[in-house]
Amino acid sequence: MTALAPGGHVDEARRYVLESRIATGGMGEVWSARDTVLDRSVAVKVLKTEYADDALFRQRFETEARHAAALQHPGIASVYDYGASSLDDGSSTPRPYLVMELVEGQPLSALLRPDAPLDPEVARDLLAQAAEALGVAHAGGIVHRDVKPANLLVTPDRRVKVTDFGIARAAEGMALTQTGEVMGTPAYISPEQAEGGTATAASDVYSLGVVAFECLAGRKPFVADSPVATAVAHLRNPVPDLPGSVPADLAGVVRRALSKDPSARFADGAAFARALREPSSAAAATVVAPVVAPVVADGTQVMAAPPTPAQPVAAAPRERRTRPAMPWGLFVGIAAILLAVLVAIWLGSRDTDPTSADEQTPARTPSQSSETPRETPTETPTETPTETPTETPTETEPEPTTVEVDPASYVGRDHKDVEKELRDLGLRPEKAELENPGDQVEGVVTAVDPSGTLEEGDAVTVTFYGKPPKDAPPAPGQEGQQ
């Protein structure tokens, strides 16, 4: 990639003038710039050429930029603008750029030093601020996917701002080892992301838990010789102990955030923030959270769950797609009913029981036959209790399994991949092909309906663009594919 230079522009309208480079990362460069229209300082992130060459990435990145721009919180760096143009660097391919709030400060990564832990109370405050900001995004249905110290900006007055929302999601599907930042930076990646699974709010909690460990221990919990080996360590290796200087309640909160099983962590950033602010209340109840590690058997990854030490609990984690367990009281009730049935059968099998017969048929006259009272006890107790156990389980049948469908996770992707993921969730995808005006990428999903909380087996319509007309020019980014 040809280097950008101060005084250059990132847009054809020449609105944003680059002033000085702030940082360079795996996905591009961040510059301090001047918005000449509004006369204010901004930060401009210019993405690498390999992303510019991917039309699907550009479309997804634009969608994610809109979602990120909708987030309004003091702890989230605001997104002002998005675009793609031929830059003043000699490249011919239009490159995407993102215009953001310029935060006065430095990334948390610049404050961390090897073997030099932060003061636990300082770390607690910074991490709680980051967790609260992530909680706002989670409440809006947005998952960051790449939480790491470089994306947590700290101002001189120790205010934290989270940045780079949406970039990791837009880049999903590219190889993990291509840049080391696609599915999440390996040193901070959650186990489910390392396995290629869908990132959730609990995934962000895990990544922030890794950041917390680094702040408190002066080192990352998992480091290996390669990005892939580091990702595997998150899956297999137990979490190391924090130094004895870390308060026990705070250490317990961090350990829970680093649970291998997403359902054993805090449900979202807001729950994590509450536990960080008041770890003593989180310690009121403890759980033994399983450490889930993959075991390769016949080429298939399965999950094993060895026990780990008890961990403080701030709030019961939200679990999806689980069925309620049968209550203990129901077992006792069924046992009592079965005992009653056995007693009734025993009574009915006796040859004669005049006392029992008289009690069951007090209205009978002396002129009735002697066989009548013998039939009554055998019919009455056997019919009544046998209906009860068949009805009781019906009343406690578990609710249908539900799944969450976030349209932002699918819009802008190839419809075949989306349909497969929906089928894996237990849904029934139905195709709806749109007429392609000629400037759209074939097969790109434009909508998924319905969305939100659905039940397994529900039908979901996947709308996507069909083939463009034969005489239409190629869609942007596909010129070299014709």
Burial of 354 (0-12, 13-18, 19+ CB in 10 A): exposed
Question: Using alpha carbons only, how large is the chain's radius of gyration in Å?
Answer: 31
Question: Is 146 tagged catalytic?
Answer: yes
Alpha-helix runs per DSSP H in 20-93? 49-52, 55-69
Q: Which two three-digit tokens encode residue 416? A: 């075949």
Q: Contact 176/230 with Cβ under 8 angstroms?
A: no
- Relative to beta strand 79-85, strand 95-101 is antiparallel
Element (H, E) at 160: strand 160-162
Q: CA separation (Å) from 450 to 78, 99, 140, 321, 404?
A: 30, 32, 17, 18, 11
E strand or H helix at 279, and its extent? helix 279-282
Helices (runs of H) and strands (runs of E) counted in the chain: 15, 17
Within 8 A by CB and 6+ apart from 31, the residues are 4, 10, 18, 19, 20, 21, 22, 43, 44, 45, 46
- The span from the CA of 259 to the CA of 202, in Å, is 10
Q: Kindly give, in sequence order, each residue whose CB lies less than 8 Å from that of residue 301, ignoring residues fewer than 6 positions away.
A: 195, 294, 295
How many angstroms separate the Cα of 339 from the Cα of each of 195, 333, 376, 393? 50, 10, 20, 17
* Cβ partners under 8 Å of residue 448, min gap 6: 405, 407, 410, 411, 418, 422, 460, 461, 462, 463
Q: Which of 53, 115, 125, 146 is catalytic?
A: 146
* Phi then psi dihedrals of residue 112, to 5 deg: -90, 135
Asked if residues 99 and 80 have their Cβ atoms less than 8 Å apart, the reply is yes
Active site residues: 146
